[in-house]
Amino acid sequence: MSLRSDAIVVTYEPDVTALSSLVSTLSPQVNRIVIVDNGSTNLNDWRHNLPAANIHVLDQGINTGIAAALNTGFRTVREFGTAEFAVLFDQDSSPSDAMVDQLEGHHDELARQHRPVAQIGPYFFEQNRGHYLPFIEFAYGVPRRKHAHDGVSWTTADYLITSGALVPLRAIDQVGALDETLFIDYVDIEWGLRAKAAGLQSYGVYDVRMHHAIGEKALKLAALRIAMHKPIRRYYYYRNALLLCRRRYIPIAWKIHEITRLAVKFWIFALFSRHRAADVGMMLKGTLDGLRGRGGEYDNRPR
């Protein structure tokens, strides 16, 4: 057990078997597991039946979004007062039995080199696409997709996927909390880029690996595999990308690249999605609200 880390797990209508497996794997690795539930209807079915004693469950009552839930988790970890790090997980993550200790070890190695650490995360195998996801770092105006290669155990990145990230609490002190106005998508990207603007660096670790599924399945289009989500996620994707484009600390190269991606994905989803009409409607609504600077949870009431 690590007395240096607490785990934060955000749940919403979780698969109880998958959540129990995650808790069983994490329990020996951390001081405690803080579960922040975003209004699950099945909460009472599992909150007292998880296979670990070091669990603290927080019932938000409603879906407050991923950023607000994680911020609640960070505050709770602070209140317990025993952890140096918080390690973050989605409810369906599959970490290894030694992952937390390995990430802490890499943090200590980087600290000995006097590197300012924002967060450290594993190398992801994305189950729906069937391959490892590269770490991303912009250089000379273009994104570098950094895959594992011989002799290199870690690399720098502009941001990390939230699940699996080990975050020193002092980095939250320096950078600030996650942006709750984004609600769900781009929360990890925004914080990573804000941390970099504040002088901290995100690191990806190739020899710490984790399986994870992004979206419900992958849309196969020639050589491309694109993660599929419900139409509401198109709204957040387009809106939040445009909200970030309004911010000065976000690099111009990222803004140009992301706007290009939005245009390409619009036509992909408009032409090939099973939910074309709903996807197009949500992408247009997200674009409009992003241009207007509207954040928060999606509101479908007439305006």
Answer yes or no: do 87 and 164 share one domain: yes
Q: Residue 191 maps to which CATH number?
A: 3.90.550.10
**Residue-wise burial string across 226-260, b where 16 or more C-beta atoms lie within 10 A, e elsewhere:** bebbebbbbbbbbbbbbbbbeeeebeeebbebbee
Q: Is 260 a domain residue?
A: yes
Answer yes or no: do 195 and 243 share one domain: no
* Residue-number span of the structural domain to which 241 is assigned: 217-292
Phi, psi of 210 (to 5 degrees): -145, 140
Q: Is the dihedral of CA 77, 173, 63, 6 positive or negative?
A: negative
Answer yes or no: do 21 and 116 share one domain: yes
Answer yes or no: do 194 and 222 share one domain: no
Answer yes or no: do 72 and 125 share one domain: yes
Which residues does the chain have with pLDDT short of 50? none
How do residues 67-86 score in pLDDT, each as one tens digit?
A: 999 999 999 999 999 999 99
Q: Which of residues 195, 212, 229 is at a domain's end?
A: 212
How do residues 99-147 score in pLDDT, each as one tens digit?
A: 999 999 999 999 999 999 999 999 999 887 788 999 999 988 889 999 9
Answer yes or no: do 156 and 43 share one domain: yes
CA pair distance 128, 167, nearest whole angstrom: 26
> Distance of CA 234 to CAs 149, 228, 282, 297, Å?
34, 10, 6, 13
* CA proximity to 4, closest of 71, 74, 81, 56: 81
Q: Which of residues 212, 229, 249 is at a domain's end?
A: 212
Q: Is 303 a domain residue?
A: no
Answer yes or no: do 199 and 91 share one domain: yes
Answer yes or no: do 243 and 186 share one domain: no
* CA proximity to 212, closest of 18, 71, 7: 18
Question: How many domains would you assign to the chain?
Answer: 2
* CA proximity to 20, closest of 106, 120, 92, 87: 92
Answer yes or no: do 159 and 251 share one domain: no
Answer yes or no: do 170 and 241 share one domain: no
Show the tokens assigned to 62.
Answer: 């409603």
Q: Is 300 a domain residue?
A: no
Answer yes or no: do 116 and 243 share one domain: no
Answer yes or no: do 288 and 223 share one domain: yes
Q: Is 297 a domain residue?
A: no
Q: Which of residues 167, 195, 212 is at a domain's end?
A: 212
Q: Is 195 a domain residue?
A: yes
Cα maximum dimension of the chain: 57
The 3-class secondary structure across 240-266, one letter per residue, is HHHHHHCCCCCCHHHHHHHHHHHHHHH
pTM, two decimals, is 0.92
